[in-house]
Amino acid sequence: MEDTAYEELMDIINEIYAQEPIELGCGEINCFLCAKGGRLKPCDRLREAVILLPGENRLLTLLNGKAFPEMNVNGFSIGFLAPEEDCPFNVDGWCGIHGRHPIDCRSFPIVPSVNERGDLIVSIALNCPVIPPWGFTKRWVENWRRIWGKAPLEWFKFYSSVPTNPLKPVAIFRAEEKDDREVYKKGDGTHMV
């Protein structure tokens, strides 16, 4: 059962990696504040963390030959860069793996969080100077809803606990509306998410 949920989560991750990107227009206004490192002075960066989904670091290694630093979150190994850390894929202020970059980077400035009840809250990061087009926002609200249906609640709780810039909610999905689909869990599987 646990393996099936993990496989379903990885299927969603692979589908997202295969999606044609919707450009935000960052290059048009020469804004790369979310790039972690490179030419920007630390005071010119947004100071956002990058948090990978369970299994995503392996996919990045397959695509790019290296991975993000890993940490353990409640039995899950995830790639993680703290807000003050430079990205290992940054090339002189530019993303060296654009098109093969993490979901957390692809979706920015659309970010997920959960509240104490486990409701999914999808928000826009207000410090990003680019206003995402509706198609981008709609796609990422749906992508995060699909991920929420399979990823461990512990991952979302960790993601929500990492300090970030101010957010404006754009969508809320109530935990009680979440169906009984299996969620990927690590460990003995005796506790339900």
Whether 187 maps to a domain, the answer reads no
Write down the residue that tokens 């692979």 correspond to: 14
Dihedral pair phi/psi, residue 73, rounded to 5°? -125, 105
Whether 100 maps to a domain, the answer reads yes
Comparing 92 with 89, the larger pLDDT belongs to 89
Predicted local confidence at residue 175, as pLDDT: 92
The stretch 88-114 carries a mean pLDDT of: 90
Comparing 28 with 79, the larger pLDDT belongs to 79
* Of 168, 192, 186, residue with least CA distance to 9: 186
113 pLDDT exceeds 90?
A: yes
Whether 9 maps to a domain, the answer reads yes
Whether 59 maps to a domain, the answer reads yes
Whether 27 maps to a domain, the answer reads yes
Whether 26 maps to a domain, the answer reads yes
Domain count, the chain: 1
188 pLDDT exceeds 50?
A: no
Q: Give the domain range for residue 45.
A: 2-177
Percent with pLDDT over 90 in the chain: 55
Give tens-digit pLDDT for 56-90: 999 999 999 999 999 998 888 999 999 888 888 98
Whether 126 maps to a domain, the answer reads yes
Whether 115 maps to a domain, the answer reads yes
